[in-house]
Amino acid sequence: MSVKKPLEGIRVIEMSTFIAVPATARFFAEFGAEVIKVEPKSGDNVRFNGVSEGRLGSPYENTTFDLENAHKKGIILNLKAPEGKEVLFKLLETADIFLTNWRPQALEKLGLDYDQLKDRFPKLVYGSLTGYGEVGPDKDLPGYDFTAFWARSGLLGTLYQADSEPNNLIPGIGDHTAGMNLAAGCMVALHKAQATGVGDKVLVNLLHSAIFAQAIAIEAAQYKGLGKQYPISRKVAENPFNNTYKSADGKYIQISMPPFDIFYPKFMPLIGREDLVGNEKYTMASITKNQLHGEFIAILEEAIAKKTAAEWAVLFTGADVPFAVAAVWEEVLEDEQAWAIGAFENVDYPTGKRAMVRQPIELTGSEKRPYGKAPQLGEHTEEVLKSLGYDDATLKTWHEAGIYNVFEDVKSKVGNLDAVAELKELLGK
């Protein structure tokens, strides 16, 4: 007897592209909701971004698209045609949640903004994610995580080494953060809708998500003169025990001991500087008052450079010192702890098994779904249309008129399995 999934019976209609909202919809799909992804014939752009992200460009081995879209049904609708919009409205009649990251002006033009839908679908939870929000002078700007989340919010402009250059960015960090915020908000609104019969609009944007993520530092920045203004150098970090140090084998070790004076008598003997225990010069108050950060950090640098990261790991672990060696992605893929907590699952692909990242939420009373694959573009269109009551004659007429499309219509655009041999050859070089 199969156990009912936590969100079984919930229907989600997703009309979005790229990462953030697809990740939200994947959250619902992961826990059993029926998620129907509505795409135009051109498809979600992430279907075709593989090469630019350092991965394969094949639709049969698209790890990013599967990460964000597994367990969904995929359909192609022409929403500019009245019949296409009719289908979407039929889906919304039976939906609990509608998710989109389309710009508000585009939604309004198509009659798909919340104000035009709420009376027709009063129980509907409407989840909207934008770059900069739906009010204010910059509400219509295009928003991506590199720009709205990282740059505009202060992350990119402050969290790099002074006298250096901004950090290299990777896609998805801001999107996943905002996407989980949207999932949380939609769950609150869904609870309200189920209790009262009245839906709501859930608003999340990348800029606010990033500001919230940095809230401690941004609020502290108001106290000018009391702390260092970022960007700073690790050579003069405010708390030398919240800093990185280079080991003998060139690896950086992040230590994190916010209560400096408490850890001081325990930590200094570990690094061979027991002679400094009890030295009033290096209390946190003295370091701050006399601006001794650079001097004390140099002492730590000299000491930690004498052993390898592995040697320090044994010593610090034994002494219960909070630390971690700064890993690279290839090392994270082999991290025993990451595998133990279920961060990864091996999935079969044409070129072999790939470690796929699971969403970071687990319910102990629910069985985990095996990692799934995302739908091919238009894979479930006719299945969904038939479930709405449309007969074969209507489907034939609509298909010929381009009201909807199926995977076979766009297969030449996305490629086929004949390319697998070429992919294996490429990876073997």
Which residues are annotated as catalytic?
Answer: 175
Three-state SS for 333? Answer: coil
Question: Shortest CA distance to 4 belongs to which of 364, 369, 366, 358?
Answer: 366
Instruction: Note whether 401 and 77 are within 8 A (CB).
Output: no
Residues 348 and 190: their CA atoms lie apart, in Å, by: 35
Greatest Cα pair distance in the chain: 88
For the residues of 277-315, what is the DSSP string, one character each? TT-GGGSHHHHHHTT-HHHHHHHHHHHHTTS-HHHHHHH
Q: Percentage helix, strand, coil, to 5, in the chain?
A: 45, 15, 40
Three-state SS for 145? Answer: helix
Question: Shortest CA distance to 65 belongs to which of 75, 53, 77?
Answer: 53
Q: In Å, how far are 169, 218, 287, 301, 334 from 237, measured between CA atoms? A: 23, 17, 11, 13, 31
Contacts of 404 (CB under 8 A, 6+ apart): 75, 76, 77, 78, 84, 87, 378, 381, 382, 385, 395, 398
Q: Supply 149's token pair.
A: 């989340």
